[in-house]
Amino acid sequence: MTTVLNVEAVNRSFGERQVLKDVSFTVESGRLTGFVGANGAGKTTTMRIILGVLAADTGTVTWCGNPVTREDRQGFGYMPEERGLYPKMTVTEQIVYLGRLHGLGTADAKRRTATLLERLELTERANDPVEKLSLGNQQRAQIAAALVHDPQLLVLDEPFSGLDPIAVETVLAVLRERARTGTAVLFSSHQLELVERLCDDLVIIADGTIRAAGSRTWLREQYTLPRFEIEVDTDAGWLRDQPGVTLIELDGHRAVFDLAAEADEQPILRAALDRGPVRTFAPIRPSLAEIFREVIR
């Protein structure tokens, strides 16, 4: 795992409005990095700056330690928010053409296109004009277009939006395969459950400011609430009187409670055992959605 992309102190305004404020984060090779934020948070603007489609007012983007060059960008794959395939071209023609723009020879581009279409389950549509494809299939074609030249960095703006659940699984698998072979993948998504399943690393942005960034495991540890679930054979109402306990939910035998930072959970477990059998006693790990809500508050 090596840091390949480094976004450092990037600022960008449109007119009077500053939409990126000191945005800094890194993307590692061989890892899937989810870029998460509400509508208008600044994800697309950041991605455009990484790809050089838009300039930063101040700040830098480096690739392997040096400012990103045109040649580096030839080796990047980008799926923009506005899905710009040529409607009249067939799927194969379009992807081969884009592969050639990224420096592939025709035969190589054709071979790679056929393999990718097969992998993305689009072979049956290979000779159809793009405009004849369903939106979900156009989306798969866009993903193929971003992948055809085997990019070292893949930047995908909402790659899962508009895909049915089966297509989501196919695309997830393809992205995982790419990461396994060393590609650095940065993708934005609103679908937090998907991000949670897919990502190794996360970058959370709100109002143009990075609120949290790091590995999914690290973030979960950082934001683990001192929250526990308990299930006993008798009524769990006694928990109310335990020092440091705030009851969140009480449903007869089952309860969810928060523990004050200085309190220890073991005395609570002992108190429970004194009253009878304990069926469950475990910390509750926050979901990404919960972390997200807490971080952007």
45 binds ligand ATP (CB under 6 A): yes
For helices 165-180 and 135-147, the axis angle rounded to 10 degrees is: 10
Burial class (CB in 10 A: 0-12, 13-18, 19+), 25: buried
Q: Which stretch binds ligand ATP (CB under 6 A): 1-9, 41-49, 116-124, 272-280?
A: 41-49
Site size toward ligand ATP (CB under 6 A) is: 11
Question: Considering the complex, what minimum distance in angstroms separates the CB of residue 107 from ligand ATP?
Answer: 38
Q: Which stretch binds ligand ATP (CB under 6 A): 33-41, 220-228, 243-251, 265-273?
A: 33-41
Q: Can you tell me the distance from the alpha carbon of 267 to that of 84, in angstroms, rounded to the nearest whole number?
A: 61
Q: Which stretch binds ligand ATP (CB under 6 A): 22-30, 43-51, 65-73, 119-127?
A: 43-51
16 binds ligand ATP (CB under 6 A): no
Question: Considering the complex, what minimum distance in angstroms separates the CB of residue 20 from ligand ATP?
Answer: 8
Burial class (CB in 10 A: 0-12, 13-18, 19+), 217: exposed
Tokens matching residue 73: 């960008």
Spatial neighbors of 122 by CB under 8 A, at least 6 apart, are: 91, 137, 140, 141, 144
42 binds ligand ATP (CB under 6 A): yes
Burial class (CB in 10 A: 0-12, 13-18, 19+), 18: middle
Q: In degrees, to the nearest 5, what angle opens at C-alpha 69 toward C-alphas 66 and 74?
A: 125
14 binds ligand ATP (CB under 6 A): yes
Question: 128 with 181: CB under 8 angstroms?
Answer: no
From 4, 10, 29, 37, residue interacting with ligand ATP (rule: CB under 6 A):
37
Q: What are phi and psi of 177, to 5 degrees?
A: -60, -45
Spatial neighbors of 51 by CB under 8 A, at least 6 apart, are: 73, 76, 78, 155
* Window 61 to 90, contacts with ligand ATP (CB under 6 A): 81
**CA distance from start to end of the chain:** 31
Question: Considering the complex, what minimum distance in angstroms separates the CB of residue 205 from ligand ATP?
Answer: 7
From 4, 10, 36, 41, residue interacting with ligand ATP (rule: CB under 6 A):
41
From 26, 29, 33, 44, residue interacting with ligand ATP (rule: CB under 6 A):
44
Question: Considering the complex, what minimum distance in angstroms separates the CB of residue 97 from ligand ATP?
Answer: 27
From 1, 2, 9, 40, residue interacting with ligand ATP (rule: CB under 6 A):
40
138 binds ligand ATP (CB under 6 A): no
39 binds ligand ATP (CB under 6 A): yes
User: Which CB atom, from 14 or from 86, has the smaller least distance to ligand ATP?
Assistant: 14
User: Which CB atom, from 9 or from 166, has the smaller least distance to ligand ATP?
Assistant: 9
User: Which CB atom, from 81 or from 229, has the smaller least distance to ligand ATP?
Assistant: 81
Distances (CA, A) of 50 to 35, 43, 63, 105, 220: 13, 11, 10, 26, 27
Q: What are phi and psi of 263, to 5 degrees?
A: -85, 155
43 binds ligand ATP (CB under 6 A): yes
Question: Considering the complex, what minimum distance in angstroms separates the CB of residue 190 from ligand ATP?
Answer: 7
Binding site for ligand ATP (CB under 6 A): 14, 19, 37, 39-45, 81
